Structure 1
């Protein structure tokens, strides 16, 4: 089995306010489908990047986003599946539910984790 990150950036979900409840319901249904298939690991939407905290290698902590970052993650899911093809099938299900473009990336295998 391999783990894949399925994610979207802030601004990807350009949905009219009145359609948000339907999108949320569809997204929850897609997650439940992945859970039932034992593919779902974790996921969810993230608070706006302005509410983030940055921790630097020297231990310095700063409120707000990293000024070097130009795009920000808005939501993610992690699936544990047999292949990239399986991950892409789940991504297609989530993309339809969330009405946005999703990026799929495989985690580097680490037998110690």
Structure 2
């Protein structure tokens, strides 16, 4: 079993104002189905009202993330699934519920995690 990250940036969600309640309902329903299927690990949305902090190895920190990287925002879910095909199926379900494409990535195996 591998863990998959299913995510989207905030800008991908172009939803008419009157549809937000349906998007919330539908996306939460897919997450509940993932929990019932035993594949849900965790998920949520990045709180964009809290700025990132870049922390150095010595513990010093500065406001903001990497200046050269695109901002990390939007929503994500981590699911533990037996196959890439099944992960694509779950990503498609979330894409339909969220009304936007989802990016699918697999985490590298770490025997210590």
Q: Normalising by structure 1, what TM-score?
A: 0.90
Q: Distance in 2 between matches of 1:10 and 1:53?
A: 19
How many Å separate the matches in 1 of 2:49 and 2:72?
A: 6
For residues 88 and 58 of structure 2, the distance between their equivalents in structure 1, rounded to whole angstroms, comes to 38
Count of aligned positions: 113
Alpha carbon RMSD of aligned pairs, Å?
1.6
Runs of 5+ in structure 2 lacking a partner?
none
Unpaired segments of 5 or more residues in structure 1?
none
| Equivalent residues of 1:49, 1:64 under 8 A apart | no
> What SS does structure 2 have at the residue aligned with 1:87?
helix
- CA deviations on 1:15-69 (whole Å, 9 max, x unpaired) are 1222111101101000001111101110011112762222234533122333221
Contact 1:50 1:64 in 2 (8 A): no
**Range moving further from structure 2, 85-94 or 58-67:** 58-67
Do residues 104 (structure 1) and 104 (structure 2) align?
A: yes
Cα deviations across residues 61-106 of structure 1 (Å, max 9, x unaligned)?
Answer: 1223332212423111000010101111100000000011111111
Correspondences of 1:14-93 after superposition (within 5 Å)? 14-48=14-48, 51-93=51-93
